[in-house]
Amino acid sequence: MSEAALKKVMDHAAAGLAARKAFFDTKAELVVEIARAMAVCLAGGGKVMFCGNGGSAADSQHLAAEFTNRFKMERPPLPGLALTTDTSAITAIGNDYSFDLIFEKQVQALGRSGDILMGLSTSGTSTNVIRALREARRSNIVTVGLAGQSGAEMAAVSDFLVTVPSSDTPVIQEIHIAAGHMMCHLVDHFLFEAVSELTPYLPEQDG
């Protein structure tokens, strides 16, 4: 067996484990807070939208599917929408306007006040994600940014900013999906297992 190849595996595993532990040690409460906001949004008839490029586009679709299908428990489908899947919309916007607008225009068309938009960018500088988050804020849509260790440009446009203590893109992506999975798990917890924990955060009903 190649010792050099094995070392690459073990080095990556060690870096991922260290970053994952550091992330959850410092960001667990933030993950709960975001999941609670998602649950409030969904309980009120809103939806959770996702966007990102490349691997982060795949993560967007992955997380949206956890909502519209299920995560672990049997429960009704929940409205999760990846803005990365409509190739006709993406190519039309990219061709007629700019690749920078492919998510922003979809947010304008599909987003509603009270929805949530999660933007994923390992660099924190993806222009199309930044513009989508900025547009969401203008439309009273709650914004969640998932980035690398600095947060970069996402900090100014994210109501909730999730940073990962790593500069290694694959490690950042692995922790993004781990954080997203935990948010899905907690949304189910708040909506279907421990509704009393969510009740104080729901808007008061008239009458």
Q: Is the pLDDT of residue 53 over 70?
A: yes
How does pLDDT run across 134-173, given as a tens digit for each residue?
999 999 999 999 999 888 899 999 999 999 999 999 999 9
Domains and CATH numbers, the chain: 3-201 (3.40.50.10490)
Q: Which tokens belong to 171? A: 């490690």
Q: Which DSSP string do the residues of 85-138 spell out, in sequence order?
A: --HHHHHHHHHHT-GGGTTHHHHHHH--TT-EEEEE-SSS--HHHHHHHHHHHH
% of residues, the chain, pLDDT over 90: 90
Q: Is the pLDDT of residue 198 over 90?
A: no
Quote the pTM value.
Answer: 0.93
Q: Is the pLDDT of residue 207 over 50?
A: no
Q: What is the mean pLDDT of the chain?
A: 95
SS3 state at 194: coil
How does pLDDT run across 91-116, given as a tens digit for each residue?
999 999 999 999 999 999 999 999 99
